[in-house]
Chain A
Amino acid sequence: MRFIDPHIHMTARTTDDYERMAAAGIVAVIEPAFWLGQPRTSVGTFVDYLSTIVGWERFRAAQFGIRHYCAIGLNSKEANNEALAEEVLDVLPRYLPKEGVVAVGEIGYDDQTEAEDRFYRAQLELAKTFEMLVMVHTPHRDKKRGTTRSMDVAIEHGIEPQRLVIDHNNEETVQEVLDRGFWAAFTIYPHTKMGNERMVEIARRYGSNQIFIDSSSDWGVSDPLAVPKTARLMLERGIAPADVEAICYGNALKAYGQSGQIKEDDWLNPPAIDQRVLYEGNSVLRGQQPRIDDLPPIPAVKEEIVFK
C-alpha cells in the first residue's frame, strides 16, 4: 500500500524521518505554510520560509524518493500581527502560482479574532483569484464553533465545498463537514489523552468517502509515520483495504489533485527532466507495493494515537 501524508511540516523534521517515511511507503507529502513555534518579526523571514518550502525542502524530499508539494498562506496565529500580516499578504501572490503549490493554506482561525477573520477572508479571495484549492486549519479551542464558522465564511466567499479541505476534525465536527460537502481531514497525533482506536471507529462509522488522514508533524511531539501506522491498525481491525487506501492515499490525491499540481505519475512515472535532475526515487523500486507486514509496527508500549 502507498501512502500520502497530506499535512506535514517537513522543514522541522530530520533526514531520519524521510528515510523511515520512504521505507513505510509514503510517496508524497504536502507541506502547508505554518508558523515556526514563535512569531516572526519581519516579512523577510516569511519570504525565506516560503522560498524554502518551494525550493530547498522539495529538493531535500526528492533525495529520499518522496515527492514534496506545499500549500502557501498566512497562518491564523500570525494573522494577529496586522501590520506584518499585510506585508505577507502582498508577497503571497509571488508564491501561489509556483510549481507544486496545491492550495492556499493552512489558513483559518486560531483564537477567532477579528484580525484572523480579516486575513482568512482576504486569502479566500486570493484562492478565488488564483483559482486554487483551500486548506483550512480549524482551531484547537472552541473547535466546533470555529469549524462551522470556517465553512460559513468560505461559502459566503463563494468557495465550492469540494475545493476546500477542513483539517484537524474530530468526532464532534465530522458530520457537519461531510454533510456540507467539504473534505474532512483528521490529524493523528501521539501522546494525548484520547485512545488510538478513534480513527478506526470513524472509518467504521463514516466509511471512506471524503475522509483522509494526516500527521501534521512539526517541531512538536508528533509522528511522521502516523499515516502508515494508522493504516496498519485499520487493516488489523478489519477495515476493508479499499477503504484504508482511500483514507490514507486516494482521497488526499483526489482532493488536492484538483489543483492539477499533484498526480500519481509524479512518483510512478516521473517526467524525464525530474529523473535527471530532481527526483532520486527509483521508479522501479517505488512501484513495488510495500506489504502490510513491512509497515511500522504498533509499538508494544501503548502509544496513544489521537486527534490534535
Chain B
Amino acid sequence: MTPAALLQTWLQRQLPLPTRQWLDSQCALLAGTPTDRELNLAISLVSRKLGKEDLRLDAGDLKQASAARKDWDPRGWSVDQAGRVLLLLSANTAAAKFNAWLDQLCQTADVGELVAFYRGLPLYPDPPSHRLRAAEGVRSNMKAVFEAVAHRNPYPREELPEGAWNQMVLKALFVGSALHPIQGLDERSNPALMRMLCDYAHERWAATRPVSPELWRCVGRHADSFAVADLQRVLETGTTPERQAAALALTDCPDPAARKLLARAPELEQAIAEGKVTWNSIAQPS
C-alpha cells in the first residue's frame, strides 16, 4: 500500500461517515484540476471538519507505514494532520506544481497546518526538491514546527546536507527538544558536529547551566583528544545520567584513551555491556 492509501484507511476507520464523505469529495476535487481557492479552502477546513483527535495506530499499522515508506513513523499524528497530508498527496500533479502549491500553502499557513506540512515531508514527490523547505522548518522559532521536521521524520537523515543537519541537532539542544526522536543521529554524526557540540557544552558550563546528557551521543564516535577530555570531565564530575552518557560516548570512541577512561568506571561499562544503560534509557528514564 502507498502512504496515501494507508492514511486513507486509517482515517476511514476512525472518522464518522459524513466527515469521511467530505474528505473523499475533497480528495477527488484535488485529484482533478482545482483552483487555488479550492485547494486553500480544502486544506484549511480540515481541522474544522475532522477535529484534532490522535490518529489511532497499532503496531501493525506502524509496520505497514515503514513498509510503505522506509522509516516513516506516524506515531503522534492527529487526524487533521493525516487529513491534510492525504489531501496534498491526492493532488495529482507534477512535482513542480506540487512544490509551488506547497510553497503557497506554507506562506499563509496557520501553526497547525505548518506542523502537518512538515510532518508530511518524507511522503512528497521528488524528495531532494524539498531540502530548502525542510531547512526553513528547522529555522522556525515555533518549537512544534521545528519538531515536525526533526522528530520521527526520515527526511532530514536522507536529504539534509551536513551543514543543515548539524544546525538541526544543535538547535534541538538549544530549544530544549529531545535528540532521541531524531532519526539517523548515530550514522550522521560527523567531526564538525562533534566540535560544535563540545563548544556548546563549554558555553553552557561557563554559564553554569546544565548540559543535556543526550549531547554526548553525537560526540563519541568522532571525539578528538579535546572531546575525550570533555568526556572525562563529565564522567568524573557529572550527575548519574551525565556519567552514563559519557560512558556510552566513550564506548563509541575508537581512541584508545577512551578505553582507558572507561576502565575507571567498570560498573558503567558493565551496565552498558548488559544493555541496562542505553541512549534511550538516558533520554527516557523509566
Instruction: List residues of chain A with CB under 8 Å of any chain B CB.
Output: 47, 50-51, 54-56, 58-59, 91, 93-95, 97-100, 260-261, 271-274, 276-278
Contact = CB atoms under 8 A, between A and B. Distances in A.
Which residue, of B47, B81, B110, B113, has the highest number of chain A Cβ atoms within 10 A? Answer: B110
Interface in B183-221: none
Contacts of B44: 94, 97-99
Nearest to B115: A277
Q: Which of A50, A276, A277 has the largest number of chain B CB atoms within 10 A?
A: A277
Q: Which 10 A-B pairs have the closest CB atoms?
A: A277-B144, A54-B110, A97-B44, A273-B78, A59-B142, A98-B110, A99-B47, A271-B52, A55-B111, A94-B108
Given A54-B111, A93-B41, A94-B40, A99 B48 contact: yes
Contacts of A271: 52-53, 78
Contacts of B48: 97, 99, 260-261
A277 B113 CA distance: 13
Nearest to B109: A55
A91 B45 CA distance: 16
B225 to A, nearest CB: 41
17 contacts: A47-B108, A55-B109, A55-B110, A56-B111, A56-B142, A59-B142, A93-B41, A94-B40, A94-B44, A97-B44, A97-B48, A98-B110, A99-B47, A99-B112, A99-B113, A100-B110, A272-B54
B108 A93 contact: no
B107 A278 contact: no
B147 interface: yes
Contacts of A51: 107-109
Interface in B31-78: 37, 40-41, 44-45, 47-48, 52-54, 76, 78
A283 to B, nearest CB: 15
Interface string B249-284: 000000000000000000000000000000000000
Given A54-B109, A91-B108, 16 more contacts: A55-B109, A55-B110, A59-B142, A59-B144, A94-B40, A94-B44, A99-B48, A271-B52, A272-B53, A272-B78, A273-B53, A273-B81, A277-B147, A278-B111, A278-B115, A278-B144
Interface residues of A: mostly helix, strand, loop or mixed? helix
Contacts of A55: 109-111, 114, 142
Nearest to A278: B144
Interface in B141-158: 141-145, 147-148
Interface residues of B, number: 29
A59 B142 CA distance: 6
Contacts of B45: 97
B53 A59 contact: no
A93 B40 contact: yes
Contacts of B47: 99
Given A55-B142, A59-B142, A273 B110 contact: no
A232 to B, nearest CB: 33
B110 A99 contact: yes
Contacts of B111: 54-56, 58-59, 278
Nearest to B114: A55
Chain A CB within 10 A, most for which of B40, B109, B111, B147:
B111
B52 A47 contact: no
A93 B142 CA distance: 25
Contacts of B148: 277
A95 B41 contact: no
A303 B115 CA distance: 44
Contacts of A261: 48
Interface in B89-136: 107-115
Given A54-B110, A98-B110, A277-B144, A93 B52 contact: no
B205 to A, nearest CB: 27
A273 B54 contact: yes
Contacts of A56: 111, 141-142
Nearest to A58: B111
Contact of B41 (A50, A97, A276): A97
Nearest to A272: B54
